[in-house]
Amino acid sequence: MLKKKILLGVTGSIAAYKTAELIRLLRKNNFFVQVVMTKSAKQFVTPLTLQALSGNPVLENMWDPSEGNGMEHINLSRTSDLILIAPASGNFIAKLANGLADDLLANLCLARSCPLLVAPAMNIEMYNNKATQRNIETIKKDGILISGPDSGEQACGEVGLGRLINFESMMLDVRKVISHQIFLNKKILISSGATLEKIDEARAITNLSSGLMGLNLAKEAYAMGADVTVISGHSNYEFPPCIRTIKAIDHDAMYQSIISNIEKNDIYISAAAISDYKPLYTPGKIKKKNENISLELKKTKDILSYVSKHFGHKFIVGFAAESENLIENARDKLISKNLDIVVANTIKDSMGKPKAKMVIIDENENTPLPEAEKEVQSRIILEHIFKFFSKAKTYDSIN
């Protein structure tokens, strides 16, 4: 990915101290960061700190004759890929809503030709104030994008909406703004993780799926512009708050959640490892009376087959984890379940692991993917889905 330039605006919010970590994350993700501070922001964090972390001089005074040609509010806005205001105080949001330009950062926002992403951070009462809500609605109508805020304990001790959004979600919003949004206005439903079936009140059986593939698919789809809903079983990972998540721990809950939500979506990706069998439940706790114990297992409903039969007008993607005859078994799944695409992998090389070696199988061909991190694999899988879903004759990979 080409190095993108982000102009990071820091305003007078107590959350300004978090900007140091944000700059570190942005640079780690290969962004060039130019910081612009308001006068109030300097009361919470020093320019020297942000300069050291960003590797660039911090700009703050548009009247400084030593800074360029005196037209920094034009120059910077023309060379940036994104202006990110984080944190954005109630006062600065009011400036944006009313087109005020009384400092360098406000001038940059008014003179910009690039996207503007705003991350509000303020006290709950300030955020809920009618004036603030009116200003937020105004800037949304003007095409300014909003990231957050989160809900939780605030610096003042109160609890509620107004905290600066967590950086994982903010980074996804940044990627969404600067990426090619191939799934814009499309809705994607993803099932993820393992199902867990109770044996008794204390015990259960499950499988070795970690949920990492589903997590990465959801994050990448969100960054590509999709409205994402995840139905998550048992998982080693938490989904970021910006992604709508429904918990469905066992097979029956997974089935009900998928059936209830699929009609509202354009694409369904079945990445969950759903139980093929479940034990007959025993109330209470089975006592250790015998040396050996036998469990009776009952076959569960094949959710993917049911979905393809009753919702065949949707674009449906299946996953096939196999121990042998990978291509043959995966292609059989593609045909027998009438799927659009199957992503195949060997269990020993992928289940529960951070990397995977996969093959994308469609009606025309098999596309092997070299071993790579699941984040990378999920991006390639989604590009392949787009290629078939859009029925486009020409297709360019995303940079």
Q: Which of 109, 114, 156, 242 is catalytic?
A: 156
Element (H, E) at 161: strand 159-163
19: closest CA among 79, 83, 85?
Answer: 85
C-alpha to C-alpha distance for 193 and 211, rounded to whole angstroms: 4
Element (H, E) at 323: none
Chain Cα centroid distance, residue 105: 28
Backbone φ and ψ of 256, nearest 5°:
-65, -40
Helix %, strand %, coil % for the chain, to 5? 35, 25, 40
| Active site (annotated) includes residue 114 | no
Angle formed at CA 130 by CA 129 and CA 133, multiple of 5 degrees: 90
Token pair for residue 3?
Answer: 């190095």
Instruction: Please state whether beta strands 4-10 and 82-88 pair in parallel, antiparallel, or not at all (unpaired).
Output: parallel
- For helices 303-310 and 251-261, angle between their N-to-C axes, nearest 10 degrees: 20
C-alpha to C-alpha distance for 214 and 231, rounded to whole angstroms: 9
DSSP character string of 210-240: -SHHHHHHHHHHHHTT-EEEEEE-B-SSPPP
Q: In what order do the strands lie in the sheet with 145-146?
A: 31-37, 4-10, 82-88, 116-120, 145-146
**DSSP class of 59:** B
Residues labelled catalytic: 156
